[in-house]
Amino acid sequence: MTLTIATRGSPLALWQAHQVQRRLQEVHAGLEVIVSIVRTEGDRVSDRPIEELSATGVFTKEVDACLLAGEADAAVHSLKDQLTTLPDGVCLGMVLPRGPAEDALVSTCGGGVADLAPGARVATGSVRRRAHLLRARPDLKVVSIRGNVDTRLRKLDAGEADALVLARAGLERLGLGDRITEVIEKSLVLPAVCQGIVGVTCRDDDDATLRRLRAADDPVTHACAVAERAWLRRLGGGCNVPAAAHAVIEHDRLIMTSRVLDPNGHEAMEADATGDLASAERIGYGLADDLIDRGAIDLLRGGAG
C-alpha cells in the first residue's frame, strides 16, 4: 500500500508533511507514505509583499494542482494558507491536532510588544498582524518581510528590524521556541483563521484515500477549522486581509471569537458565538453575517481611513 503526499519544500512544510506521514502510518499499518515536494508561487517570489502576488493561494495552488493532476494522492498544507473555497474536485480529508495558535514576538530588546521603544521597527508579512499591532501601538513602524522562518530571523539578526512577529507554532515546531520573547495574548493579536492547524486535502472522488485520511482525522480540530474557514469564506477574504477568528472546544461546545480591522488598525469590530460541534459551519457563517451587517466589508477595505 502506497500513498503519495505533496508538500512545499520549506523546513516547516516538511515538518508538517512528516507529521502527517507518521500519523497515517500509525493508523494504517503497512502503509508506505511518500513525500513529494512542490515549489509554489509564494516560494518563487520572495522579494515582494504577499498582497502584491496572486489574490489567494500563493502557497497552496500548485500543491493542489499536483493533486488534481494525479501526481499525488493527498496534499499537506498549513491550513491558514489554504483557500477557504477549495478548488473544484478537492476536499479537506483530515487535520492534525491543533498546535499553539498564538502569534509570538521575537524582539532584539528581549521584551514584549509593550516594551518596544517608540517608533520601533516590527517586521511582519501579514496585514492582519500589522493592523493588530498598530491598533495596540500606533507609534510602531511596521515593516514588510518575506521568507521562511530562518530567513526572517536572519534578517532580524542583521538589523533589518527591531522585532519580528511570527506564528508561535512555526517557531516551536522548528525547535526555535527559545527565540520567542513574548507569546502575544489573543486579546492583543487574534490568531489567523486555522493558525496552528495542519490540513490534508485529497481528490473528492478518491474514495480510498479519503477513507484513509478520515480515519486519521482529529475531529475536535476539524470542527474548529470548519467554523473558522466558514467565517472567512462568508467575508470573502483570504489570508491577506486584516481579519481573524479563533475557535476552541470546551465541554463539547464550540466557542468562537472573531475580529475585523481596518488595515491601519484605527477601528475594529468583534463578534462571538457558541454552539455544538455539529453546528460549526453555521456558527462561522452567523458570526460573519453579524459583522457584515455592521459594516465589516467597508472596514476591511480601509473605510476607517
What pLDDT tens digit does each residue of the chain (305 aa) get? 899 999 999 999 999 999 999 999 999 999 999 999 997 655 544 544 545 444 455 567 888 888 999 999 999 999 998 888 999 999 999 999 999 999 999 999 999 999 999 999 999 999 999 999 999 999 999 999 988 899 999 999 999 999 999 999 999 999 999 999 999 999 999 999 999 999 999 999 999 999 999 999 999 999 999 999 999 999 987 667 899 999 999 999 999 999 999 999 999 999 999 999 999 999 999 999 999 999 999 998 875 43
In this structure, what are the phi and psi dihedrals at residue 142, rounded to the nearest 5 degrees? Answer: -90, 120
Provide the pairing of β-strand 2-7 with 32-37: parallel
- Total domain count, the chain: 3
Helix extents (H) in the chain: 11-27, 41-44, 61-68, 127-136, 149-157, 168-173, 207-215, 219-235, 280-293, 296-300
87 with 115, same domain? Answer: no
124 and 104 in contact (C-beta within 8 Å)? no
173 with 288, same domain? Answer: no
The residue to which cell 523546513 is assigned: 11
What's the pLDDT at 181?
98
Question: Which of the following is catalytic: 64, 81, 103, 262?
Answer: 81
Distances from the Cα of 4 to the Cα of 23, 31, 63, 65, angstroms: 14, 10, 12, 14
Determine, yes or no, domain membership for 190.
Answer: no
Instruction: Decide if 81 is catalytic.
Output: yes
172 with 155, same domain? Answer: yes
Q: What share of the chain is helix, strand, coil (3-state, %, to 5)?
A: 35, 25, 40
127 with 173, same domain? Answer: yes
Distances from the Cα of 131 to the Cα of 35, 199, 213, 255, angstroms: 37, 26, 36, 24
77 with 206, same domain? Answer: yes
151 with 108, same domain? Answer: yes
50 with 109, same domain? Answer: no
Determine, yes or no, domain membership for 49.
Answer: yes
The residue to which cell 498564538 is assigned: 102
CA atoms within 13 A on the CB side of 244: 29
Q: Does the global pTM surpass 0.75?
A: yes
Determine, yes or no, domain membership for 20.
Answer: yes
- Of 192, 198, 204, 214, the closest CA to residue 7 belongs to 198
C-alpha to C-alpha distance for 201 and 209, rounded to whole angstroms = 10
What's the pLDDT at 304?
41
71 with 89, same domain? Answer: yes
Terminal C-alpha separation, the chain: 57
Determine, yes or no, domain membership for 256.
Answer: yes
Distances from the Cα of 90 to the Cα of 23, 48, 212, angstroms: 21, 29, 15
Q: The domain containing residue 151 runs over which residues?
A: 103-183
C-alpha to C-alpha distance for 232 and 289, rounded to whole angstroms = 11
C-alpha to C-alpha distance for 285 and 265, rounded to whole angstroms = 24
Determine, yes or no, domain membership for 85.
Answer: yes
What's the pLDDT at 43?
53
Q: CB-based burial of residue 304 (10 Å sphere; 0-12 exposed, 13-18 middle, 19+ buried)?
A: middle
222 with 212, same domain? Answer: no
What's the pLDDT at 45?
46
CB atoms within 10 A of CB 285: 16
207 with 285, same domain? Answer: no
Determine, yes or no, domain membership for 189.
Answer: no
Apex 109 CA angle, 108 and 113, nearest 5: 100
- Of 243, 223, 2, 220, the closest CA to residue 130 belongs to 243
Determine, yes or no, domain membership for 83.
Answer: yes
CB within 8 Å of 305: residues ≥ 6 apart: 262, 264, 266
C-alpha to C-alpha distance for 181 and 166, rounded to whole angstroms = 11
127 with 139, same domain? Answer: yes
CATH of residue 54's domain is 3.40.190.10
84 with 50, same domain? Answer: yes
Determine, yes or no, domain membership for 191.
Answer: no
